[in-house]
Amino acid sequence: MVTRIATFANQQALIQRMLDVQRRVYDGQTQVGTEKKSQDYLGIASDSFRLINIENEKRRLDRFIANNTSAEVNLSAMTQAVTTVDDGVREFRQLLIGFTGRDLTDQSPQDVSAVKDIQERAFALLNDMEFFLNLKVDGKYLFGGGKTDLPPVSVPYDNVTEFQADYDGINTTYPTTRAAQLADMQFPGVSVTGYTQLTYGTPSINISQANAAANTFQSALINENSFGDLTFANSGSNGTMTSSVPGAFTNLEVGQTFLLNGTATGQGAAALDNNGVYTITAISSDGRTITVDQTFASAGSATAAANAVEVRLVPPNGTSIAISGSGNNNDGLYTVRWPTNAELAAAPFNAGAGFSMNAVAPDVVDGDVLFFSGQVTNTGAETVDFATRPYYRGDRLELEHRVSETRAVKFGVNGLDPAFEKAIRALGQIVQGDLINNQQRAVDALTLINDAIEHSPLSSEKPGDLQDILNRLGINQKVIADAKEDQKQFTAFLDLRQIDIENVDPTEAAVKLNDDVNALNISFATLSKIQQLSLVNFL
């Protein structure tokens, strides 16, 4: 028996509850269709913080995986390039071994042909090395260090004849040291008083006194405070200079040339008689002792006080320098050749007086005389430019790749690497002219080639070889591949955690949806019945 008739308020409450059920049905349909608990973070408010952290971590991992994939491509390309260079150098070594065993004394047509053949092959390998070291991937040169927009290696010759036009092997020779081959110096707008054919028995260019201070060819002064007291000694045909400060000469390199200048009085013969020009042939492991190419006139020690001794770096002996802005000396290269101390003594050169800036008494005028091998034309006063021609145009930076948040690896391989430098220097010495009269150059080049393939601990050359480069590239590839695999596995784990938070159980969602649909049907039916009630029907 009906005891009351629904009022408007009751009807609206029923409708609101029906709409709530309808909303649950819609949400259930969305969950079943998308398998997601909610389409926004509000629907999973209690887990939203964890979900956001998981999503951010996945994005970081995805970036690392993409970057590591790109690094793998670069390393793979670099490995292939170095492997090809290594194969070429090893093949050339076999040819060079056979060539050095020939007797070129009679210079027969067969000898001339053998010289031409080995030079052509050396030049071809030189061009191959230029090609592979100028490898470019994704618009970036891989062997240029941090300088990735320009080709890092330059061999500006099309054939052997053009190469020998600059390096004839007589007046102009290819550098024999790393320091000379990589010397990168420019001296623009240098005023000269004239080209002197002979200074101390060596062709030279005199820099005008008015501009000597600004245009000095000295690239650096090693302050006496950095090496403390010096001890001079001799061993065979070489001199040794030892500092009281550990590591004083660590930053120097074999092949660098310096002027030794002792000017202070009261320091003894060792501080005065040893003045001259020296080229470094070895540096001790602790950086305290350097060995030079000549003996010292006086053994003993000198106190590094009141400028008792200065060590001034100059363009390395054997550096190739081009002259421009001069009417008579622009063609070709000139090789820097500093006079030996024996030549200076024959000049005569007063060692005890030190180097002078005084034009009246030019004792190897301090920094304003540049010595060359070969003929330099005598002219009047000019303003000229001097520039070296290093093969490497990149920089010394080692590219670093971040593998993950906590780890980074250095590629550490560029065209400046000692392995490449030694191989290129050896090939240049072979390709230069007059090889048939200087077979020892081929022997020296073979020694360099061997050191480029596998460095000898007994060698004074800078450590590094092609096998070491391949090992480093292989290690980096392994590190990146392992990190990439770990990142993929962690990403998969995060995917599961994200699924746990975001996704619904399909069976549970379907059951709830079915219940809500049934409830909604009943609600519609109930509302329909209630809407049929009226006072007329009741009465």
Q: pLDDT per residue over 205-222, tens digit each?
A: 655 433 444 444 544 556
Mean pLDDT, residues 247-251: 87
**In terms of domains, do 80 and 13 share one?**
no
Mean pLDDT, residues 321-336: 77
**In terms of domains, do 13 and 110 share one?**
no
Judged by average pLDDT, the poorest of 332-341, 454-463, 507-516 is 507-516
pLDDT at 363: 38
pLDDT at 42: 57
For the ranges 195-209, 246-260, 301-315, 346-360, the one whose mean pLDDT is highest: 246-260
pLDDT at 228: 77
- On whether the CB atoms of residues 418 and 426 are closer than 8 A, the answer is no
**In terms of domains, do 285 and 405 share one?**
no
**In terms of domains, do 238 and 273 share one?**
yes
**In terms of domains, do 244 and 376 share one?**
yes
What phi-psi label fits residue 38: left (phi over 0), alpha (psi between -120 and 50 degrees) or beta?
A: beta
pLDDT at 478: 93
Q: Each residue of 1-12: pLDDT tens digit?
A: 444 555 667 667
Of residues 374 and 355, which shows the higher confidence score? 374
Q: Is residue 164 included in any domain, yes or no?
A: no
pLDDT at 367: 41
pLDDT at 44: 59
pLDDT exceeds 70 at position 166: yes
- Judged by DSSP in three states, 474 sits in helix
Of residues 397 and 537, which shows the higher confidence score? 397
CATH number for the domain that contains residue 459 = 1.20.1330.10
Tell me, rounded to whole angstroms, the distance of Cα 417 from its chain centroid. 8
How far is residue 137's CA from residue 277's CA, in Å, rounded to a whole number? 45
Q: Which domain holds residue 47?
A: 8-58+507-538
Residue type, 325: G
Q: Is residue 174 included in any domain, yes or no?
A: no
How far is residue 195's CA from residue 161's CA, in Å, rounded to a whole number? 28
pLDDT at 533: 64
pLDDT exceeds 70 at position 203: no
Domain total of the chain: 3
How far is residue 339's CA from residue 276's CA, in Å, rounded to a whole number? 9
Of residues 520 and 146, which shows the higher confidence score? 146
Judged by average pLDDT, the poorest of 38-47, 248-257, 354-363, 425-434 is 354-363
Instruction: Give residue 383's pLDDT band: very low, low, confident or very high (50, 70, 90).
Output: confident
**In terms of domains, do 376 and 410 share one?**
no
Domain boundary among 321, 353, 388: 388
Beta-bridged to residue 195, according to DSSP, are 205
Domain boundary among 366, 388, 410: 388
Q: Each residue of 452-462: pLDDT tens digit?
A: 999 999 898 99
pLDDT at 284: 92
Mean pLDDT, residues 174-179: 94
**In terms of domains, do 409 and 283 share one?**
no
Structure tokens at 427: 């090939």
Please name the residue that has the structure tokens 């020690």. Answer: 301
Mean pLDDT, residues 297-324: 79
Beta-bridged to residue 322, according to DSSP, are 333, 387
pLDDT at 342: 80
Q: Is residue 85 included in any domain, yes or no?
A: yes
Q: Is residue 359 included in any domain, yes or no?
A: yes
Class of residue 136 by CB neighbours under 10 A (exposed 0-12, middle 13-18, buried 19+): middle
Q: Is residue 496 included in any domain, yes or no?
A: no
How far is residue 309's CA from residue 76's CA, in Å, rounded to a whole number? 51
**Backbone Cα Rg of the chain:** 40
How far is residue 471's CA from residue 466's CA, in Å, rounded to a whole number? 9
Percent of the chain topping pLDDT 70: 73
Q: Is residue 497 included in any domain, yes or no?
A: no
pLDDT exceeds 60 at position 198: no
Looking only at the bridges linking them, the beta strands covering 382-388 and 186-199 are antiparallel
Of residues 262 and 379, which shows the higher confidence score? 262
**In terms of domains, do 210 and 270 share one?**
yes
pLDDT at 113: 96
pLDDT at 26: 73
CA 93 vs CA 97, 118, 122, 462, 537: distances in Å: 6, 11, 10, 20, 115
Mean pLDDT, residues 108-112: 94
pLDDT exceeds 70 at position 53: yes
Q: Is residue 166 included in any domain, yes or no?
A: no
How far is residue 293's CA from residue 281's CA, in Å, rounded to a whole number? 6
**In terms of domains, do 322 and 208 share one?**
yes
pLDDT at 302: 79
Instruction: Give residue 364's pLDDT band: very low, low, confident or very high (50, 70, 90).
Output: very low
pTM here?
0.80
pLDDT at 328: 67
**In terms of domains, do 37 and 129 share one?**
no
pLDDT at 193: 62
Q: Each residue of 407-444: pLDDT tens digit?
A: 888 887 999 999 999 999 999 999 999 999 999 999 99
Judged by average pLDDT, the poorest of 124-128, 207-211, 439-443, 493-497 is 207-211
Q: At what angle do helices 440-453 and 48-100 cross, to 10 degrees?
A: 150
**In terms of domains, do 325 and 462 share one?**
no
- Taking alpha carbons only, the member of 59, 85, 119, 155 closest to residue 490 is 59
Mean pLDDT, residues 217-246: 78
Mean pLDDT, residues 371-399: 78
Instruction: Give residue 446's pLDDT band: very low, low, confident or very high (50, 70, 90).
Output: very high
Q: Is residue 220 included in any domain, yes or no?
A: yes
The mean predicted confidence, pLDDT, of the chain is 80
Of residues 151 and 397, which shows the higher confidence score? 151
Percent of the chain topping pLDDT 90: 39
pLDDT exceeds 80 at position 238: yes
Mean pLDDT, residues 236-254: 90
Domain boundary among 356, 388, 420: 388
pLDDT exceeds 80 at position 70: yes
**In terms of domains, do 372 and 435 share one?**
no
Residue type, 434: D
pLDDT exceeds 70 at position 197: no
How far is residue 322's CA from residue 396's CA, in Å, rounded to a whole number? 24
Of residues 154 and 410, which shows the higher confidence score? 154
Q: Residue 369: what are its φ and ψ, rounded to 5°?
A: -130, 125
- On whether the CB atoms of residues 376 and 334 are closer than 8 A, the answer is yes
Mean pLDDT, residues 249-277: 80
HSE-CB at 257 with a 13 A cutoff on CA atoms is 24
pLDDT at 531: 66
pLDDT at 247: 87
